[in-house]
Homo-oligomer: A and B are copies of this chain.
Amino acid sequence: MSNESDGDLIFKALAHRRRREILDLLKDAPRTTGMLCEAFTDMDRCTVMQHLKVLEEANLVIARKDGRERWNHLNSLPIKQIHDRWISAYAGHALSILDRLKNDLES
């Protein structure tokens, strides 16, 4: 993540349930665009490709051409970066609140 606006792009890409579902599939293994379309029969090919474009712009998906096929690979590093720089501090904050609440209830 080179700067804060990259963070904006990543969070924006994650802000759609369908895009998170695509990433969940790619977490298991790379897939061709055709395979992704088959996995989401309720979306047309154009919509799947639009979601892939947003994910590529946020650097969360890297595409490799192999002949006529386009293999989509997950790049999880930007998610690790927002985790380390940002999310983990808030998860820690929430845990400390929950601990305090638990202690208050017990005392």
Q: Which residues on A are within 8 Å of B, measured CB to CB? A: 4-5, 7-8, 11-12, 14-17, 20, 23, 27, 74, 76-77, 79-80, 82-84, 86-91, 93-95, 97-98
Contact = CB atoms under 8 A, between A and B. Distances in A.
Contacts of A98: 77
A93 B7 contact: no
A89 B80 CA distance: 9
B93 A27 contact: yes
A89 B86 CA distance: 16
Nearest to A81: B94
A104 to B, nearest CB: 16
Contacts of A87: 79, 82-83, 87
Top 3 closest pairs, chain A to chain B, by CB: A11-B15, A80-B94, A79-B90
A91 B95 contact: no
Contacts of A15: 8, 11-12, 15
Contacts of A17: 4-5, 7-8
